[in-house]
C-alpha cells in the first residue's frame, strides 16, 4: 500500500472534523467620474455586493479599466509615458453584510472599473 493510499484512507475514514472552505464569486463593473486634478488627486466611487456569510470574511479581488488587463486589489495602474502618472487604483473590504469595492480615478475622463472578487470563509 502506498503512502498516498494511506493518507486517502485516513482522510476519508477519520472521525475528526475536516475543514471546509466556502467561496462566493462576484463579477461586475461601476463608473468613477473624472478627477478634478488629474494625475495628482483622484475621484473615488464604490459599489457593494452582498456578503452571504453574515460575518467579516477574507476577500480577494482584481480590477481592470479595460476588462482585459487585471491588477490585484491594492495596486495602482499608471498611464503610459515618461512621467508615469497614476491612472487608477482599487481595493476592497468586507463587513458582516457587504463586500465594498472602491475605485480611484486619477484621469481627466470617466473610467469604468471592472472587478472580479472572491469571498472566502471556513464557516
Query: What is the value of pTM for the model shown?
Result: 0.77
Backbone angles phi, psi at 6, to 5 degrees: -65, -40
Dmax over CA atoms of the chain, in Å, equals: 69
Q: Name residue, grid cell 493518507.
A: 7
Q: Could you tell me the pLDDT band of residue 3, with boundaries at 50, 70 and 90? A: very low
* Cα 53 to the center of its chain, rounded Å: 17
Number of H helices and E strands in the chain, helices first, is 1, 8
Reported as a single tens digit per residue, the pLDDT across 9-65 is 544 454 555 566 778 899 999 999 988 887 777 889 999 999 999 988 999 999 999
Domains of the chain: 20-121 (2.60.40.2080)
Quick one: CA dihedral 66, 41, 98, 19, positive or negative?
positive
pLDDT in tens, 75-101: 888 877 767 778 899 999 999 999 999
Amino acid at each position: 500500500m502506498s503512502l498516498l493510499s494511506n493518507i486517502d484512507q485516513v482522510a476519508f475514514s477519520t472521525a475528526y472534523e475536516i475543514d471546509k472552505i466556502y467561496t462566493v464569486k462576484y463579477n461586475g463593473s461601476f463608473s468613477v467620474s473624472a478627477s478634478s486634478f488629474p494625475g495628482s488627486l483622484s475621484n473615488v466611487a464604490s459599489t457593494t455586493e452582498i456578503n452571504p456569510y453574515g460575518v467579516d470574511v477574507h476577500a480577494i479581488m482584481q480590477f481592470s479599466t479595460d476588462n482585459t488587463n487585471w491588477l490585484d486589489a491594492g495596486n495602482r495602474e499608471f498611464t503610459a509615458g515618461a512621467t508615469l502618472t497614476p491612472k487608477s487604483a482599487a481595493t476592497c473590504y468586507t463587513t458582516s453584510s457587504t463586500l465594498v469595492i472602491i475605485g480611484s480615478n486619477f484621469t481627466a475622463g470617466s473610467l469604468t472599473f471592472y472587478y472580479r472578487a472572491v469571498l472566502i470563509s471556513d464557516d
